[in-house]
Amino acid sequence: MIESWRWYGPFDRIALDEIAQTGASGIVTAMHEIPSGEVWPRETIAARKSEIEAAGFDWVVVESLPVHERIKRGDGDLEPLFDSYRQSLANLAAEGIRTVCYNFMPLLDWTRTDLAAPVRRGGTCLRFSAPRMAAFEVHMLGRAEAEDDYPADVLRAASAWFEGSDETERETLLASIMAGLPGAFDRYDVDGLKQNLALYKGIDADTLRANFARFLTEVVPTAEELGMRLCVHPDDPPRDILGLPRIVSDAEDLAHVLGSVESPANGLTLCSGSLGANPANDVPAIAARFADRIHFAHLRNVAKEPDGSFEEAAHLEGDTDMVALVRVLLDEEARRRTEGRADAEIPFRPDHGQELLSDAARGTHPGYPLVGRLRGLAELRGVVRALSHSGAAHA
């Protein structure tokens, strides 16, 4: 497996020479400064790649080449947006970058209600509180249908939190929910969020699936021609929020997406944390079912609660059997090697580390601290090495 590290380029407060000390060999990054829908120029890609290689790394995965919101909504003449996406793929391939992670989550990427929830024995982590999310939707956003999306006990807890909160706490909640938008993208205030949610009015899960299928039909053939691999990231959290449908949340969703265009170029980013937040998901079993379409892996863990809340656990703690999951990925690599494939190794990265020790003072992107991810990488490295020793991956 290829040890990699997410780097936000000019937006990142962690430098490449610091990442080198983690032992990772691959960089996962994107051109976050380029607005969604615009072409990534080849010369800009080449400059970023040269910077990465000069620091001793390979640029192994693009995360993410964003899908424009109009494509997700099926809104207007989309051909120029499809053309831009295809051209960006061609420019990446021309520079030798062939694995592209993306998502099809409407409006927001990953969503959390707390960016610094306390962790036992010190440190902080990202957390999704179902009551706080309900408080935001019902009491701050005023979404009329939101009460139908949460059980009564969560709604009661949401009302209690809202009534006991002050304006600063409510602003912090809004900022936390907006924090999943990377790079230079704008954050929304409550009115701005309402306006953008209104653009999705009438778009249900079936409509979103149809729009996703159209996107894949438009871009997967180009990816095939270029020898590229597209790999969709699951929904985070894996449930409908803000009245927006989520359609990449469980095994059947994945089967629908991967089956809509049968091609190795239509693949999966196996995110153990996103899938693991759904109580119905057996993550190692999902990985085994779709192993031949996994082109990239995010390895992290979550601890779930009965009311739908969850938080980021240490990589070898939480609810997902990380050893069993890594065994599935190693077995898939072994299968690929028997086929003589040059791309047998699967890039992975430690995802969403806890903030530990000096992390809090650095002000890095939420969920992407240095020390916390270094701990995760070290633990995952140990699992990979132990399972690989004497063929244990095939036991």
Could you say which of 32, 233, 295, 315 is catalytic? 233
Task: Phi first, then psi: give them for residue 307, nearest 5 degrees.
Answer: -85, 5
d(CA 281, CA 326): 16
Name the H helices within 95-202: 130-135, 152-164, 167-178, 190-198
Cβ partners under 8 Å of residue 350, min gap 6? 5, 299, 300, 315, 373, 374, 376, 377, 380
Among this protein's residues, is 186 annotated catalytic?
A: no
Token pair recorded at residue 145:
């249908």
Going along the chain, which residue ranges are E strands? 2-6, 26-29, 58-63, 99-102, 114-118, 124-128, 229-232, 266-271, 294-299, 301-304, 310-313, 347-350
Among this protein's residues, is 298 annotated catalytic?
A: yes
* 380, 320 contact by CB (below 8 A): no
Could you say which of 236, 298, 315, 359 is catalytic? 298
Find the Cα–Cα–Cα–Cα dihedral 68, 70, 76, 77, rounded to 10°.
10
* 249, 105 contact by CB (below 8 A): no
Could you say which of 32, 68, 295, 352 is catalytic? 352
Among this protein's residues, is 368 annotated catalytic?
A: yes
Q: What is the largest CA-CA distance in the chain?
A: 62
Could you say which of 12, 114, 253, 351 is catalytic? 351
* 173, 190 contact by CB (below 8 A): no
Could you say which of 12, 149, 271, 359 is catalytic? 271
Among this protein's residues, is 233 annotated catalytic?
A: yes
Tokens 């992407």, located at residue? 368
Give Cα 18 distance to the centre of its chain: 23
Cβ partners under 8 Å of residue 132, min gap 6? 113, 114, 158, 161, 173
Catalytic residues: 233, 271, 298, 351-352, 368
